[in-house]
Amino acid sequence: MIKYHPSKQLMQKHIAGELPAGLSVAISAHIEMCDECSREFDLLEAKQALAVFETESNGADDDEFEHMMESITSLAMYDELIPHSADYFEYQGKQVQLPRAIAALKLGSFINAGKVSRARFELEEGPLRSSLLHIKPGGEIPEHTHTGFELTLLLDGTFEDESGKYVPGDFIMLDGRHNHTPKTEDGCLCFTLVDNALHFNKGLSKLLNPIGKLIY
């Protein structure tokens, strides 16, 4: 069962088009995977649309409003349905259907580091980095915190850290207040978004910190 969801405020900003592309993609994908947030999103979207409609109608005189409604209702309508062909990502010898918002993005090449593989999505987002992350069975990312924020949307498999175990659809937002050591027994696939380098806390992994800004 999905336990971690985007906040109501984030979904409202998503509806209003006020979020960067990677974060909007993650929210759209989560909504596709989560029935609870899909229902909540529909309600928020309807309320926001009604509020905009009422504001615009109150700001126009009767003739302008009537003309606007005539223009809308005179538009040609089409009911032809265009089927969506599922997009799959193959890993660990299986195919995983990706949420449509993620499948629509262009993905770069994978970089491998032990049991962790990462490929960036080709989005122009300034300091933000959106990636597809694959951790093989038994893989672990060393304990770290964040110099910015890290969003992880689990797409397939499971992983766990000091806070518990995560399942597909979980939307996990972390920042500099959190230390964790993600690890997976059976492997997992994630959409990730970060705005700065990770900071590793222990052992040899601390050697990566001086170049962390270059590889995040």
Strand partners for 120: 131
18 lies in some domain: yes
Whether residues 108 and 161 share a domain: the answer is yes
Whether residues 106 and 204 share a domain: the answer is yes
The per-residue pLDDT string of the chain (216 residues; one tens digit each, 9 = 90 and over) reads 999 999 999 999 999 999 999 999 999 999 999 999 999 999 999 888 887 766 655 655 666 656 655 665 665 555 555 565 678 899 989 999 999 999 999 999 999 988 999 999 998 888 899 999 999 999 998 877 777 889 999 999 999 998 899 999 999 998 867 788 899 999 999 999 998 877 777 665 565 555 455 455
- Find all residues with CB under 8 Å of 36, minimum gap 6, and list them: 2, 5
For residue 204 the two structure tokens come to: 């040899």
Which spans in the chain are helix H?
8-15, 21-33, 35-58, 62-73, 100-103, 212-215
Q: Name which of 190, 211, 187, 184 is nearest 199 in CA terms.
A: 211
* Contact present, 119 and 110 (Cβ < 8 Å): yes
Exposure of 85 in the CB half-sphere (CA atoms within 13 A): 0
123 lies in some domain: yes
Query: What CA–CA distance (Å, rounded) separates 87 from 156?
Result: 14
Whether residues 141 and 96 share a domain: the answer is yes
Tell me the residue range of the domain where 136 lies: 88-215
83 lies in some domain: no
Whether residues 103 and 143 share a domain: the answer is yes
- Tokens 């990770």 sit on residue: 198
pLDDT score of 214: 46
Whether residues 103 and 204 share a domain: the answer is yes
Whether residues 44 and 99 share a domain: the answer is no
Whether residues 106 and 187 share a domain: the answer is yes
Return the CATH number at 161: 2.60.120.10
Whether residues 50 and 137 share a domain: the answer is no
How many domains in the chain?
Answer: 2
107 lies in some domain: yes
175 lies in some domain: yes
